[in-house]
Amino acid sequence: MSKFRIFCDFDGTITKEDTLNKFLRVYADKKWLELEEDWINGKIGSRECTSRQMELIPSLSKEEIDKFIDSIDIDENFKDFMDIVKAENIDFCIVSDGFDYFINRILKKNGFDGIKVFSNHLEIKNGKYFCSFPYSNPKCKTGAGMCKCNIIKNKKNVTNAVFYVGDGISDFCASKCADKVFAKGKLLEYCKKNNIAEKGLIRISSFKDVSQFLQNYKGD
């Protein structure tokens, strides 16, 4: 067993673009943008934002939704990364503020089975969308739908360092729980600005960078 654990965001990190954001852009009433702006500015939490945004999507058939999901591409370097994870028996899981329905289908389509996923839950019945948040935390100051910090803290112990891979706003709090942060996009900017994981901040553009680090990592 590896002496470190890897927690990884999904949308914009494993996928090339944010699945839910694209879903909203394609199908939702434009009012979703106002809610998104309120979330970005900290006026509402992601749980409230996501729930209200899903109410703005019209009734769609399961076939339409699945066709949309199948159009989402993942980082072409993720497979090589997962090969290292398996070969080195690294404890790896996905922590996402997105929906399991999207995530599980994308993983299955790309041949990834058995990855542990912590995320929000989405059920689609008769063209209606039912959101639930099994990993939310009532004490969360940001009102996140999925409390990544709780998952990390519950799995963290004194013998395992925590590596975190992410790209966006939902990763801000989680990055504070990590010993090393592999970051791009808004997460990289946030970590630099706030001196998060200052000695363990690693800039990435894809999973190729994460794989190269793991192949050369000797522990510290």
Q: What is residue 112's predicted lDDT score, i.e. its pLDDT?
A: 96
Q: For residue 158, what pLDDT is reported?
A: 65
* Average per-residue pLDDT for the chain: 93
Give the model's pLDDT for residue 141. Answer: 80
For residue 181, give the 3-state DSSP assignment: strand
Phi-psi group of 145: left, alpha or beta (phi > 0 → left; psi -120 to 50 → alpha; rest → beta): alpha
Mean pLDDT comparison of 39-43, 57-61, 76-80, 146-150, highest-scoring range: 76-80
Question: 3-state DSSP call for residue 1?
Answer: coil
Averaged pLDDT, 195-209: 90
The 10s digit of each residue's pLDDT in 157-200 is: 766 889 999 999 999 999 999 999 999 999 999 999 999 877 79
Kindly report which listed range (48-57, 64-73, 139-148, 171-180) carries the lowest average pLDDT score: 139-148
Coil, helix or strand at residue 5: strand
Residue-range domains of the chain with CATH: 4-216 (3.40.50.1000)
Q: Tell me the longest C-alpha to C-alpha distance in the chain.
A: 53
